[in-house]
Chain A
Amino acid sequence: MPASFQDPALAGRVEAFLKAARGEDVQVVAMAPLAGGACQDMHRVELQTSQGPVRLVLRSDARRSLPASIGRREEFSVVEAARAAGVPTPAVHHLSEGLVRPGAWAYFMDWVDGEAIGRRVVKAQELSAARKRLPTQLAQALARIHTVTPRAHPNLFLRPLPERPVQGGLAFVRGMLEALQEPHPELEYVFQWLAANTPHDAGVCLIHGDFRTGNFLVTQEGLAAVLDWEFARWGTPAEDIGWLCVRDWRFGQNSLPAGGLATREAFLEAYARASGTEVSRRALHWWEVMGNVRWAAGSIHQGERYLSGEESDLEYMAIARRAPEMAWEALRLLERKG
């Protein structure tokens, strides 16, 4: 074991664990933390095995979580269900408890190469051919995610099944608004519009919950893998498509609302072709407005996490200062009336 590991004790535990789990002699030759999200710790793990070099990601529960996020134990089952449904997402292995920290669940996943940085995905010259394929590929991936149903997977989540995703979404955002530390009439105004204009609820299915540019890997061939399932839940298809259309995920490509990659109409058509299900323009509009309010309130809460001392990353303060962008967009969408 090289002495240069940032956390030699963890690398030692990982090596011993993988020897037992894989039933072969493996050596951890490199291990380094990866930039993760708010709810998980991630490490890149380089192995030498009898079959040659193997690169994995170790994904563990973080010390803290967000209210809407699931733990790694649930996430492991969600990814397995998604892969079984044909979603391109890295294979997961060896779920266990306590490997990284006592009480924390963790698993390994295959390393997949690709670009995830949003502004590069929507603008990089070398990905221009990929961008032509992405809307169809993303619609297909979403359609496959949405084939996973509560009936076929009754125990996928620990939380109870929402009878109406629209009402569940409203209740969640209501809770976010109630927890704000100062009055935000602009968000309350849009919330009242949402409550008065609810769309017809479609069937309940698995949704990714954070399906957006920045959360999938892209190569010159197009979509390589869907990532980051920590906000997966039971929901409705329009919820995922509405979130993809939230302005912040366009990275400046405002004429292409679906993730900076396609018009709403083109994406809805691609989704209908892939799924055989029509998502109405009205439902998409409602969930897009909802997504902007949710992200505006979420941004403010990120700043509160810094102010409370829970987080020390300056980026949380910067995100909170951007909340007016999402609030503006929500109000703009009301003017646009879909």
Chain B
Amino acid sequence: MQERPEPRAVLEALSRFLLEELQPEVTDKRLAFRVLIAAHLAATVAAELQVRGTHAEAELLRLSALLPDVPVSSDVRVALRDLNAALVERLVQGNPPEDDVALRAHLRLTLADALSVFSPRFDTALDIEG
């Protein structure tokens, strides 16, 4: 199967086209704003393709440690969905994993990984209010 240009490179090219060639030519303000949104979405999905596997593996390791009794599928996506569903169920039932510090750290790390891709300029410092 042909791999080049890779999906990430295609999305990066799409984002550059939207931002550098199309957006300056759009005179309608609302439409120009949507072109910016489209360029941003394409760029973030390109970034996501690059790190998705690494982030998923790390999330899976943390979840498996928090929920050692939950069976884990060999398919990472299925495993993550099952583990996250099990975690939600245990939280709803008032039976969360015992190590609350590790649980919070896991939730923060998972969000930080997502933010590094979706919102790279978002400040993840704990003290943002000065």
Min distance, Cβ A131 to any Cβ of chain B, angstroms: 17
Give the contacts of A289-337 with B (CB-CB under 8 A). Answer: 313-315, 317-318, 321-322, 324-325, 327-328, 331-332, 334-336
Known: A185-B87, A189-B103, A254-B128. A314 touches B112 (CB 8 A): no
Q: How far is the CA of A255 from the CA of B125 in the complex (A)?
A: 13
**Residues B37 and A314 in contact, CB atoms below 8 Å apart:** yes
Q: Does A192 reach chain B (CB closer than 8 Å)? A: yes
**Residues B115 and A184 in contact, CB atoms below 8 Å apart:** no
Q: Does A257 reach chain B (CB closer than 8 Å)? A: yes
Q: How far is the CA of A268 from the CA of B21 in the complex (A)?
A: 48
Q: Give the nearest-CB partner of A190 in chain B.
A: B107
Question: Which residues of the partner chain B approach A331 to less than 8 Å between Cβ atoms?
Answer: 104, 107-108, 111
Question: Which residues of the partner chain B approach A35 to less than 8 Å between Cβ atoms?
Answer: 30
**Residues B91 and A321 in contact, CB atoms below 8 Å apart:** no
Q: Does B40 reach chain A (CB closer than 8 Å)? A: yes
Q: Which of A186, A313, A315, A328 contacts B124 (CB 8 A)?
A: A328
**Residues A322 and B118 in contact, CB atoms below 8 Å apart:** yes
Question: Which residues of the partner chain A approach B107 to less than 8 Å between Cβ atoms?
Answer: 185-186, 189, 331
Q: How far is the CA of A314 from the CA of B41 in the complex (A)?
A: 9
**Residues B37 and A315 in contact, CB atoms below 8 Å apart:** yes
**Residues A324 and B87 in contact, CB atoms below 8 Å apart:** no
Give the contacts of B82-130 with A (CB-CB under 8 A). Answer: 84-85, 87-88, 91-92, 94, 96, 103-104, 107-108, 110-112, 114-115, 118-119, 122-124, 126, 128-130
Q: Which of B38, B44, B96, B114 contacts A314 (CB 8 A)?
A: B38
Q: Does A221 reach chain B (CB closer than 8 Å)? A: no
Q: What 0/1 readout, one digit per residue, does chain A (183-210) give for beta carbons within 8 Å of chain B?
A: 1111011001000000000000000000
Q: Which of B91, B119, B128 contacts A189 (CB 8 A)?
A: B91
The size class of the interface chain A forms with chain B is 20 to 34
Question: Which residues of the partner chain B approach A325 to less than 8 Å between Cβ atoms?
Answer: 115, 118-119, 122
**Residues B129 and A318 in contact, CB atoms below 8 Å apart:** no
Interface of B is mostly: helix
Q: How far is the CA of A217 from the CA of B38 in the complex (A)?
A: 28
**Residues B122 and A183 in contact, CB atoms below 8 Å apart:** no
Q: Does A182 reach chain B (CB closer than 8 Å)? A: yes
**Residues A192 and B91 in contact, CB atoms below 8 Å apart:** yes
Question: Which residues of the partner chain A approach B40 to less than 8 Å between Cβ atoms?
Answer: 318
Known: A314-B38, A314-B41, A324-B114. A185 touches B91 (CB 8 A): yes
Q: Which of A184, A318, A324 contacts B88 (CB 8 A)?
A: A184
Q: Does B81 reach chain A (CB closer than 8 Å)? A: yes
Question: Which residues of the partner chain A approach B52 to less than 8 Å between Cβ atoms?
Answer: none
Q: Give the nearest-CB partner of A335 in chain B.
A: B126
Question: Which residues of the partner chain A approach B115 to less than 8 Å between Cβ atoms?
Answer: 324-325, 328
Question: Which residues of the partner chain A approach B123 to less than 8 Å between Cβ atoms?
Answer: 254
Known: A183-B88, A185-B88, A186-B111. A332 touches B126 (CB 8 A): yes
Instruction: Apart from A183-B87, A255-B128, A315-B34, list 4 A-B contacts with CB within 8 A.
Output: A35-B30, A255-B130, A321-B119, A324-B114
Mark B residues whose CB is within 8 Å of A.
30, 34, 37-38, 40-41, 44, 81, 84-85, 87-88, 91-92, 94, 96, 103-104, 107-108, 110-112, 114-115, 118-119, 122-124, 126, 128-130
7 A-B pairs within 8 Å (CB atoms) are namely: A189-B96, A189-B107, A254-B129, A255-B128, A257-B129, A315-B34, A331-B111
Mark A residues whose CB is within 8 Å of B.
35, 182-186, 188-189, 192, 254-255, 257, 313-315, 317-318, 321-322, 324-325, 327-328, 331-332, 334-336
3 closest A-B pairs by beta carbon, nearest first, are A183-B84, A255-B130, A324-B114
